[in-house]
DNA sequence: AATATGTTTGAAACGGGTTTCAAATTAAAA
DNA sequence: TTTTAATTTGAAACCCGTTTCAAACATATT
């Protein structure tokens, strides 16, 4: 691999001049520039990004820390962020924490010491706060929320409205016996959606019926069995996310209960799976594309922490598909 | 952010000594080592990975280039590779090419100039060959295959056997009218599976019935409609992958055809979706975990190109679930 | 006590692209 | 033509952790 000094020697100029030709940072004599270009062509010289970033203290790398890359919600988000980053000349380093705080901490340190230009966090452990504050690079917390800290940007969907819309929709579908599968209450999303549900129940004088469930398929299976046992009269289920809704569908259809015939069902997140499955799942969608864009924008555009907004709530919307049937 | 010189100054030693304490590369006087450790503790000093990698010419970064991170097969693989890499002290830079050769080329160049220690490619464009050869870092081609080139490692499942097993299984399930949805024949996986199917057809003197389909949901929908129209007597379908199998399921169940009652169905890849859906999909699985592991192993263990094996074919296996019913 | 052997240690060079600063060259003004 | 201003250019410093190499110190041998 040729270096800039090598190129300079071959073109009969100084390394500084080569650098200037490459980056257009200063005027260079046309004839010399030509020579440099020619040598670059011939040698296939590509500047060493590591050397560059050592001096510039910018690596053109964005760290994206997710709890689980296999989870469709996260990888969908990751794809958008990656694509947005790419278009702006940034690379994305994807880090998978597997819901492990220690791994999360190490990843943040690693990203810091590799001069990442920013970090997008989709995890939520409160303990990570100090790490964020001392890392000294822009951090955006996506989808989740922890205690606010100076210089951090929060981007998330309007989960409270999501909870309301879901509940209202099921009522509008004629359900009178709605069971709400709450998401983990340690997550802001879980709490906000629950509040939405609760407030709508109050509005219609409906009694709350809740269970709590982790955001994954396996736990969804368990909770679905529990509903089957404890709420025989259920006719509407709000699952805490699409994955859990899929579990519910499986358990209920195995038990011979038709969805949406006997029980109507809806989830959150609008993951790809929700329209791949048959019947297609009604769900509440976040504008994940816009959210990903905003996250990138907050990182690569100079974030003005002083005056700028630090929290962005994006509207959610109902995607009505086949697991619910609204009445006229 | 403190530097090693700062730490050295505070501890009253030279930067070299601090480096030695951190890395254990040489004996250091116990008392001095203590002082250094203490300063590191107090300042929270973390060595700058960029500077380190500039000298060492190793960044502890592995590049993983995939055509589409949203595709479950790839993100499942990515998760394994990431986790395996992490355990070995490596980070993964995930690059999404969106099936775009130009993006693929740029990504490889980028990874080269950021001193990546290796690249795992899950794309297959023949045009990329020269890029691979000149990048000068170990490259592993996963799941796909292009014209062999010196110093590249190939890892893939035994797609030919996969094709055979799938066809034999459907026959064993009593199907007499099997339609094979071939994968794109530009991919080695598509070609090998087709050969497997063809050979089994010959063995049982069955006439071939094929259509070709891209490895995605949308194209799957189209092809499924075509089967419905062209092969009314079909009673068994080999989909080129699970995603397409899911399309087939949707189209057929919409048309009132029961699976596996009237038509038996099977896919390839054993993506998460295949057991999430109801009914659960019979599929041919590759040992993706082992394959990911092997890919990492080939990169981080010194690859001995001279003597070592350069191609690894992993056995596949049938995962019989609910869309096929074997007869006694 | 003197020489030989072994161990610690820090100054300096290194990796490679970027930028500063002053020197050299060119253009413009007097 | 000379002086002044503007432009181009390269040497050297910089970023920061690592490693080499020789000096300094400690221990062992004769």
Spatial separation of the C-alpha atoms in residues A39 and A37, rounded to whole Å: 5
Indicate yes or no: strand D within 7 A of the C-beta of B180: no
Taking the stretch 46-105 of protein chain A, residues with Cβ within 7 Å of any atom in nucleic acid chain C are: 47-48, 51-52, 54-56
What is the reported pLDDT for A30? 93
* Residue among A238, A240, A138 nearest A187 (CA): A240
What is the reported pLDDT for A302? 57
Sheet holding A210-212, edge to edge: A210-212, A178-182, A236-238, A264-268, A282-285, A317-319
Tabulate helix, strand, coil % of chain B (nearest 5). 45, 15, 35
Distance of CA A68 to CAs A77, A103, A219, A241, B79, Å? 12, 12, 16, 15, 8
| SS3 of residue B248 by DSSP | helix
Number of neighbouring beta carbons within 10 Å of residue B16: 13
pLDDT reading at A303 higher than 70 = no
pLDDT reading at B162 higher than 60 = yes
| Domain boundaries B159-285, CATH class | alpha beta
Fold equal for A4-47 and A159-286: no
- Topology of the domain covering A58-158+288-315: Rossmann fold (3.40.50)
pTM more than 0.75: yes
Q: Which residues of B touch A78 (CB under 8 A)?
A: 69, 94
| Stretch A149-164: mean pLDDT | 90
List helix spans (H) across chain B: 4-11, 15-23, 30-43, 49-56, 72-87, 101-113, 129-135, 159-172, 188-203, 217-230, 242-254, 272-276, 288-300
pLDDT reading at B123 higher than 90 = no
Inter-chain CB proximity A276 and B273 less than 8 Å: yes
Is A198's Cβ below 8 Å from some Cβ in B? no
What is the reported pLDDT for B307? 54
Q: Which residues of B touch A46 (CB under 8 A)?
A: 109, 112-113
| SS3 of residue B305 by DSSP | coil
The beta-carbon neighbor of B109 closest among A46, A86, A243 is A46
The beta-carbon neighbor of B79 closest among A70, A79, A217 is A70
A55 Cβ contact partners less than 8 Å away, ≥ 6 residues apart: none
A283 versus A144: the higher-pLDDT residue is: A283
pLDDT digit string, tens, across residues A191-225? 999 999 999 999 999 999 999 999 999 999 999 99
Query: Which chain A residue has the Cα nearest residue B47?
Result: A113
CATH superfamily of B4-47: lambda repressor-like DNA-binding domains (1.10.260.40)
Residue B165 confidence class, pLDDT cut points 50, 70, 90: very high
| SS3 of residue A69 by DSSP | coil
Indicate yes or no: strand D within 7 A of the C-beta of A13: yes
Looking at every residue in chain A, the average pLDDT score rounds to 92
Is A281's Cβ below 8 Å from some Cβ in B? no
pLDDT reading at B302 higher than 70 = no
Indicate yes or no: strand D within 7 A of the C-beta of B110: no
Tokens (6 digits) for A239: 């699952």
Domain ranges of chain A: 4-47, 58-158+288-315, 159-286
Residue B99 confidence class, pLDDT cut points 50, 70, 90: confident
Sheet holding B317-319, edge to edge: B210-212, B178-182, B236-238, B264-268, B282-285, B317-319
D17 C1': nearest CA residue = B52
Instruction: Out of 3.30.200.20, 3.40.30.10, 1.10.3720.10, 3.40.50.2300, select the CATH number for domain B59-157+288-315.
Output: 3.40.50.2300
Inter-chain CB proximity B115 and A50 less than 8 Å: yes
pLDDT digit string, tens, across residues A61-76? 999 999 988 888 898 8
**Beta strands per DSSP E along chain A:** 61-66, 91-96, 118-121, 139-142, 152-157, 178-182, 210-212, 236-238, 264-268, 282-285, 311-314, 317-319
What is the reported pLDDT for A157? 96
pLDDT digit string, tens, across residues B210-261? 999 999 999 999 999 999 999 999 999 999 999 999 999 999 999 999 999 9
Tokens (6 digits) for A91: 């690379």
- Topology of the domain covering A159-286: Rossmann fold (3.40.50)
């Amino acid at each position: 691999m040729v270096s800039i000094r090598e190129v300079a020697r071959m073109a009969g100029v100084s390394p500084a001049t080569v650098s200037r030709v490459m980056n257009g940072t200063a005027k260079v004599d046309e004839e010399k520039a030509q020579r440099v270009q020619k040598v670059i062509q011939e040698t296939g010289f590509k500047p060493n990004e590591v050397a560059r970033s050592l001096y510039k203290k910018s690596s053109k790398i964005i760290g994206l820390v997710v709890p689980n890359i296999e989870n469709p919600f996260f990888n969908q988000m990751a794809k958008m962020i990656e694509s947005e980053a790419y278009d702006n000349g940034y690379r994305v380093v994807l880090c998978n924490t597997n819901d492990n705080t220690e791994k999360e901490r190490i990843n943040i340190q690693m990203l810091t010491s590799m001069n990442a230009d920013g970090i997008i966090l989709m995890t939520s452990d409160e303990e990570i706060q100090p790490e964020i504050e001392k890392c000294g690079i822009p951090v955006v917390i996506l989808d989740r929320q922890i205690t606010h800290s100076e210089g951090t940007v929060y981007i998330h969907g309007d989960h409270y409205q999501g909870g309301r819309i879901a509940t209202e929709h099921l009522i509008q579908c004629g359900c009178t016996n709605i069971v709400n599968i709450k998401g983990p209450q340690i997550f802001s999303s879980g709490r906000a959606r629950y509040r939405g549900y609760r407030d709508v129940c109050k509005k219609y004088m409906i009694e709350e019926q809740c269970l709590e469930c982790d955001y994954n398929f396996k736990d969804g299976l368990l909770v679905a069995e529990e509903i089957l046992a404890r709420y025989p009269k259920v006719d509407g289920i709000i699952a805490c996310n699409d994955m859990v809704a899929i579990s519910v569908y499986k358990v209920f259809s195995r038990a011979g209960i038709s969805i949406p015939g006997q029980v109507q069902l809806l989830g959150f997140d609008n993951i790809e799976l929700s329209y791949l499955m048959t019947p297609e799942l009604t769900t509440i969608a976040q504008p994940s594309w816009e959210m990903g864009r905003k996250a990138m924008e907050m990182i690569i555009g100079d974030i003005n922490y002083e005056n700028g907004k630090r929290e962005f709530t994006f509207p959610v919307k109902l995607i009505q598909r086949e697991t619910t049937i609204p009445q006229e």
